[in-house]
């Protein structure tokens, strides 16, 4: 019988998290394969709005926190594109989101371990093989041909998928869209007479701003949110220290109930709107209001979209003002639901349900170094980069921390400190140190 070719790592999904992992592994000549079902790398393409920025400094590129000398750094990208001088005059840390996408595509294009147009449709556990491994089943999106690969370690990087309230899901399509589709439908939106945007996070604000900037006499814009207001993302520097390895250490040690209860308290760090976006919106509203007839907007908080009904070519949107306990409806041409994202957990994950530990029915236990916790000790591991908020805190989807996470995982896989693990660098202490605890 042929001996199996067992790879060191197979990564599922190539978003920025696994792309950074692929770049670091390739630089170290570690045998790895990465698969993504999309035809090519494209970072949240529906939200690549001109003028929108990455919400973290460019230093949070795919590799710099692991190795600032890497050829895959953002600065090297700029250098090779002959953009370094204009970036120097640009003199800012926050780069255009569209440029981050170009940079990541440039990295992906140089990696021989990344394969696009390939869905991972199954993972088969092979604990009794010598050595134990996983069999990863891939389907080519075009030819539907299946291939089987074997690996010692799986790294799940399947990211997130759009979240839409259950009652509204059935209306998606036609004139009702999730914000993730925005760039694909923007021409359609521009032709309409009225648009309703629901949500008060960064995506909703960017879409409202983009529409407002292009609005002449139409479309009329309704911007509603269920939240108590259109609030700013907390950006104070001490507060930002929550996005640090030290905080992850602290958070991960807390009991599940404490972690779960703490996440809503920290939501201002993740769920508001960037100060600059809110400024732009307000300034534009103010300028338009010089001629009130040019200001065709309705902005309202505490208001939930509860249902939608299609009437001819329009949509009747049923709304509820939560504090006044009053219902009303609006008739619009298009609806954009900027209602967020949820972890994307592949179906085959269910097969591991009985083998691993769970913190509650939907949230699996994860070790500090990102391994799923198997009830029975094993040498072949599944690492996850997705669905980590409950275990590793609000920085779970932060691009800078994803590089630090990749360092930890790579070091565990190779069994020594290939990349120095970054600790410290924050001014506050998140809990008592071991020697400070009362005896
Ligand atoms: C619009 C938007 C803007 C954001 N901006 C920032 C920001 O500025 N700063 C920041 O720190 N964070 C930001 N985030 C949060 C986070 O950094 C991103 O969501 C990031 O894309 C997460 O990367 P990822 O690799 O986990 O997953 P994703 O980028 O979601 O990629 C997952 C990939 O997995 C693939 N996939 C899924 N299932 C399979 C399968 N079965 N087989 C093969 N492939 C599969 C998908 O095709 C996809 O390409 C933003 C999020 C959104 C939605």
Domain 6-159+344-414, classified CATH 3.50.50.60, yes or no: yes
Which residue has its alpha carbon closest to ligand 1 atom 36? 13
What are the tens digits of pLDDT across the range 32-81? 999 999 999 999 999 999 999 999 999 999 999 999 999 999 999 999 99
- The atom number, within ligand 1, closest to the CA of 161 reads 30
C-alpha of residue 317 to centroid of ligand 1, in Å? 30
Domain ranges of the chain: 6-159+344-414, 162-233+271-341
- The atom number, within ligand 1, closest to the CA of 46 reads 1
What are the tens digits of pLDDT across the range 262-304? 999 999 998 899 999 999 999 999 999 999 888 999 999 999 9
38 lines ligand 1 (CB under 6 A): yes
How high is the pLDDT of residue 218? 83
C-alpha of residue 397 to centroid of ligand 1, in Å? 8
157 lines ligand 1 (CB under 6 A): yes
**Residue 114: both structure tokens together:** 């990344």
Task: Answer yes or no: is pLDDT of 1 > 60.
Answer: no
- Cα 342 to Cα 161, 234, 256, 405: the distances in Å are 6, 21, 19, 20
C-alpha of residue 427 to centroid of ligand 1, in Å? 30
* Best mutation site among 397, 400, 402, 409 for ligand 1 pocket (most ligand atoms within 8 Å of CB): 397
How high is the pLDDT of residue 294? 85
How high is the pLDDT of residue 86? 98
Contact assessment for residue 103 and residue 60, using Cβ atoms and an 8 Å cutoff? no
Res. 387 pLDDT band, cuts 50 70 90 = very high
- The atom number, within ligand 1, closest to the CA of 398 reads 11
Contact assessment for residue 12 and residue 38, using Cβ atoms and an 8 Å cutoff? no
* Best mutation site among 48, 140, 159 for ligand 1 pocket (most ligand atoms within 8 Å of CB): 159
Q: What's the mean per-residue pLDDT of the chain?
A: 95
Task: Answer yes or no: is pLDDT of 2 > 60.
Answer: no
Task: Answer yes or no: is pLDDT of 174 > 90.
Answer: no
* Best mutation site among 24, 35, 37, 114 for ligand 1 pocket (most ligand atoms within 8 Å of CB): 37
In what helix (H) or strand (E) does residue 383 lie, and over which residues does it extend? Answer: strand 381-384
Which residue has its alpha carbon closest to ligand 1 atom 51? 44
Query: Nearest 5°: CA angle at 113, between 53 and 73?
Result: 35
338 lines ligand 1 (CB under 6 A): no
- The atom number, within ligand 1, closest to the CA of 44 reads 1
Of the candidates 129, 148, 138, 60, the one whose C-alpha atom is nearest the C-alpha of residue 100 is: 60
Instruction: Specify the pairing of strand 118-126 against strand 114-116.
Output: unpaired
How high is the pLDDT of residue 117? 98
Rounded to whole angstroms, the Cα distance separating 347 from 267 reads: 28
Task: Answer yes or no: is pLDDT of 216 > 90.
Answer: no
Rounded to whole angstroms, the Cα distance separating 303 from 226 reads: 5
- Cα 154 to Cα 123, 379, 409: the distances in Å are 9, 12, 11
What percent of the chain clears pLDDT 90, i.e. is strictly above it?
A: 92
C-alpha of residue 16 to centroid of ligand 1, in Å? 6
C-alpha of residue 105 to centroid of ligand 1, in Å? 14
Helices (H), 125-244: 166-169, 182-190, 202-214, 237-240
* Best mutation site among 44, 74, 107, 350 for ligand 1 pocket (most ligand atoms within 8 Å of CB): 44
Name the residue with tokens 């041409």.
Answer: 333
- 261 SS3 class: helix
Hey, which bits of 101-229 come out as E strands?
A: 114-116, 118-126, 133-140, 146-156, 160-162, 176-178, 194-198, 220-224
What are the tens digits of pLDDT across the range 293-302? 889 999 999 9
In the sheet that holds 297-300, the strands lie side by side as 176-178, 334-337, 194-198, 220-224, 297-300
What are the tens digits of pLDDT across the range 308-357? 999 999 999 999 999 999 999 999 999 999 999 999 999 998 999 999 99
17 lines ligand 1 (CB under 6 A): yes
- The atom number, within ligand 1, closest to the CA of 386 reads 26
Listing DSSP states for 312-342 in one string gives: TTEEEEEEEETTTTEEEEEEESEEEE---EE
57 lines ligand 1 (CB under 6 A): no
Rounded to whole angstroms, the Cα distance separating 20 from 400 reads: 10
158 lines ligand 1 (CB under 6 A): yes
Rounded to whole angstroms, the Cα distance separating 357 from 261 reads: 20
How high is the pLDDT of residue 439? 64
How high is the pLDDT of residue 23? 98
CATH topology of domain 162-233+271-341: FAD/NAD(P)-binding domain (3.50.50)
Mean pLDDT to the nearest integer, 359-372: 96
Task: Answer yes or no: is pLDDT of 120 > 60.
Answer: yes
């Amino acid at each position: 019988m042929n001996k199996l070719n067992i790879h060191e790592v197979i990564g599922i999904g190539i978003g920025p998290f696994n792309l950074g992992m692929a770049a670091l592994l390739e630089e170290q000549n570690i045998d790895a394969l990465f698969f993504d079902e999309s035809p090519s790398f494209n970072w949240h393409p529906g939200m690549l709005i001109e003028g929108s920025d990455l919400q973290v400094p460019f230093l949070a590129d795919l590799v710099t926190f692991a190795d600032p000398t890497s050829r895959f750094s953002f600065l090297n990208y700029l250098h090779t594109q002959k953009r370094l001088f204009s970036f120097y005059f640009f003199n800012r840390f926050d780069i255009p989101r569209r440029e981050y996408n170009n940079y990541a595509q440039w990295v992906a294009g140089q990696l021989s371990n990344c394969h696009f147009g390939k869905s991972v449709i199954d993972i088969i556990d092979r604990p009794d093989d010598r050595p134990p491994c996983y069999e990863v089943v891939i389907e080519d999106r075009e030819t539907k041909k299946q291939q089987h690969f074997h690996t010692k370690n799986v790294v799940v990087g399947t990211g997130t998928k759009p979240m839409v309230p259950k009652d509204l899901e059935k209306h998606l399509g036609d004139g009702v869209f999730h914000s993730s589709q925005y760039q694909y439908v923007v021409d359609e939106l521009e032709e309409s007479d009225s648009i309703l945007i629901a949500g008060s996070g960064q995506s909703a604000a960017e879409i409202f701003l983009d529409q407002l900037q292009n609005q002449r006499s139409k479309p009329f814009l309704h911007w509603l949110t269920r939240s108590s207001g259109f609030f700013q993302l907390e950006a104070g520097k001490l507060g930002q220290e929550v996005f640090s390895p030290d905080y992850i250490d602290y958070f991960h040690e807390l009991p599940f109930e404490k972690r779960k209860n703490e996440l809503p308290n920290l939501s201002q760090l993740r769920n508001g709107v960037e100060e600059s976006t809110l400024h732009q919106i307000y300034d534009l509203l103010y300028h338009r209001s010089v001629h009130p007839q040019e200001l065709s907007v309705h902005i309202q908080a505490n208001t939930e979209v509860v249902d939608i009904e299609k009437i001819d070519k329009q949509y009747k949107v049923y709304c509820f003002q939560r504090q006044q306990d009053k219902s009303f409806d609006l008739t619009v041409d298009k609806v954009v639901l900027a209602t967020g994202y949820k972890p994307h957990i592949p179906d085959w994950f269910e097969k591991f349900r009985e083998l691993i530990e769970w913190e509650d029915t939907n949230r699996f236990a994860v070790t500090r170094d990102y391994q799923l916790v198997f009830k029975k000790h094993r040498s072949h591991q599944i690492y996850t980069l997705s669905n980590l908020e409950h275990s590793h805190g609000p920085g779970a989807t932060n691009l800078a921390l994803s590089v630090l996470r990749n360092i930890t995982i790579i070091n565990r896989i190779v069994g020594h400190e290939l990349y120095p693990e970054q600790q410290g660098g924050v001014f506050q202490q998140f809990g008592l140190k071991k020697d400070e605890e009362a005896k």
